[in-house]
Chains A and B, each alone.
Chain A
Amino acid sequence: MAMAKKRALSFRLPDGAAAWILPLALIVGWEIAADAGLIAARVLPAPSAVMRAFWATWRDGTLAQNVAVSAGRALQGLLIGGLLGFALGIVNGLWRPAETALDSSLQMLRNIPHLAIIPLVILWFGIGEEAKIFLVSIGVLFPVYVNTHHGMRTIDPAFVEMARVYGLGPFALFWRVILPGALPSVFVGLRYGLGIMWLTLMVAETISASSGIGYMTMNAREFLQTDVVLLGIVIYALLGKFSDTITKLCERSVLSWHPSYAKTVAERP
């Protein structure tokens, strides 16, 4: 057992480094091709050009400002949509009448592609902040709702029965049995929701905004600054990766009981 574990570990270290070989090679190849004039700068500027765009937008403060605006919108939408989805999932998971009344309507709404309502949202809210936050909220709500609900519904009834025999009241049953049992599923929903959050925001900012990363790239497109457009795309990728990493860390500490997050060293014979 110990041998097998050690071997797996010694394979994993070069694995981590190996994951970077391909992207680095691509970037180096791309730089060389761009410098040699094989790729037109207007189609795809060199990585060094993107870096220069980064530096320029960083120095004049537009980058930081736009990132802050986008992140703020994302966070507000996540909070509103996520909390609403979580609350609906809990209520419908615990209380049959609520599920009967709400679930089929929610499932129906869930199947509307939320980006399809952009024209309607613009009619309602104009191109103000509310429109973007509303869209992000709608996008985040459903994955969080569906997975929270599913997590609540799939608690092992044997645990609930055990809790009854051992005299747990409804409050203790929820906090000690049902909610912790549903959390892995809630986190799945949250990570789905984060993906949709950035996607929605990018589309919304591209279509109608006067600030934010999406606006920055659309603005750059008008001036044919392909390097800034590319920079915007890279920033989105980094923000997505960043939020996913934070969620993973939360998951790891909250779900430390789960076999998938087991610390290999803590195991005893």
Chain B
Amino acid sequence: MSSQVQLLDASPFEPSHRRRVNAAAQARTSSPGDGGLPIELSGVFKAFGQREVLKGLDLTVEAGEFVVVVGRSGGGKSTLLRLVAGLERPSAGRVAIDTQAVAGPQRAARMMFQDARLLPWQTVIGNVGIARGPQWRAKALEALTAVGLADRAEDWPRLLSGGQRQRVALARALVGRPKVLLLDEPFGALDALTRVEMHQQLTGLWREHRFTSILITHDVAEAAALAERVLVLREGSLALDLLIPHNKQRRAASEAELAALQARILAAV
């Protein structure tokens, strides 16, 4: 599988195998906040009946890295995320968070879904603090403040707009201070303006807390805007593993740079 990745490395961007060493060094020096945990997939196969969704995936995500996975539907993106979340077990191979094999849903990893999945019979704050525990109200309110919805704490979720619902879902994901945040196309159904707002909010929170993030999207522009590293999944294997220099260095990319990036991602998809 790794040979396929290397095939695509004739580019102005940094090749993936060289990058891995650099990123590890960088992550250690430039990660304030709570920090994230590294994720490692080695030789992961996943089949549903006869259909092989992931075919021997090897992948290392550094602690605190922001990875975006792009690919066509049915390419195995969601399955990859669900494996890391512990919602599915690999048919073969190993999925590990911080060298611990994933055997089920765990505290360190939180997931945001395509739909907000807010319980309609819980208030907004009840949804954010759904896991309860000591001082859950204070913690939930803090998370709601971080996404700018503290004033809606006592409302029913049905009174919120789609974007607000996803922000509540984001607050719910953040309330336990996760080390790993898994995002399964959470902004797919939002309008363009709301989406940009959500991007900014998410990037801001990620810079503050430095949780390891894996975001799934089919939107190449979204990938170029958010990712430090873009992975393209095609038919169950990695078709591209690409560093995004401007996000890594936290500078705005030029139009030409963005266009080149997007073209390259699109070509791999």
Contact = CB atoms under 8 A, between A and B. Distances in A.
A268 B164 CA distance: 14
Nearest to A255: B121
A167 B129 CA distance: 11
Interface stretch (A10-18, A155-163, A199-207, A220-228): A155-163
A164 B105 contact: yes
Contacts of B158: 257, 259, 262
A158 B169 CA distance: 14
Interface string B108-128: 011101010101111000000
Contacts of A162: 113, 117, 130
A258 B120 contact: yes
Contacts of B120: 257-258
Interface in A149-202: 158-159, 161-168, 172, 176-177, 180-181, 183
Contact of B132 (A172, A181, A262): A172
Interface in B159-190: 159, 172, 176
Contacts of A172: 131-132
16 contacts: A158-B113, A161-B87, A162-B117, A165-B85, A165-B109, A165-B110, A165-B111, A166-B172, A166-B176, A167-B131, A168-B130, A181-B121, A255-B121, A258-B120, A262-B158, A268-B155
Interface residues of B, number: 24
B156 A257 contact: yes
Interface of A: 158-159, 161-168, 172, 176-177, 180-181, 183, 255, 257-259, 262, 267-268
Consensus secondary structure, chain A interface: helix
A163 B143 CA distance: 18
Given A172-B131, A268-B155, 18 more contacts: A158-B117, A159-B117, A159-B119, A161-B87, A162-B130, A164-B105, A165-B85, A165-B105, A165-B111, A167-B105, A172-B132, A180-B119, A180-B122, A255-B121, A257-B120, A258-B121, A259-B158, A262-B158
Contact of A167 (B107, B113, B119, B155): B107
A268 B159 contact: yes
A159 B118 CA distance: 8
B159 A177 contact: no
Consensus secondary structure, chain B interface: loop
The 7 A-B pairs of least Cβ separation, nearest first, read A180-B121, A162-B117, A257-B121, A165-B111, A164-B105, A165-B105, A257-B156
Contacts of A255: 121
Given A161-B87, A257-B120, A176 B130 contact: yes
Nearest to B130: A166
Contacts of A176: 119, 122, 130
Nearest to A256: B156
A165 to B, nearest CB: 5
Contacts of B121: 180-181, 183, 255, 257-258
B87 A164 contact: yes
B110 A166 contact: yes
A257 B113 CA distance: 22
Contacts of A268: 155, 159
A168 B122 CA distance: 15
A155 to B, nearest CB: 10
B140 to A, nearest CB: 12
Contacts of B122: 176, 180, 257
A110 B87 CA distance: 38
Nearest to B182: A165
A168 B131 contact: yes
Contacts of B156: 257
Interface in B81-98: 85, 87
A189 B261 CA distance: 58
A180 B127 CA distance: 13
A166 B172 CA distance: 9
Given A164-B105, A267-B159, A268-B159, A177 B119 contact: yes
A264 B57 CA distance: 53
Nearest to A172: B132
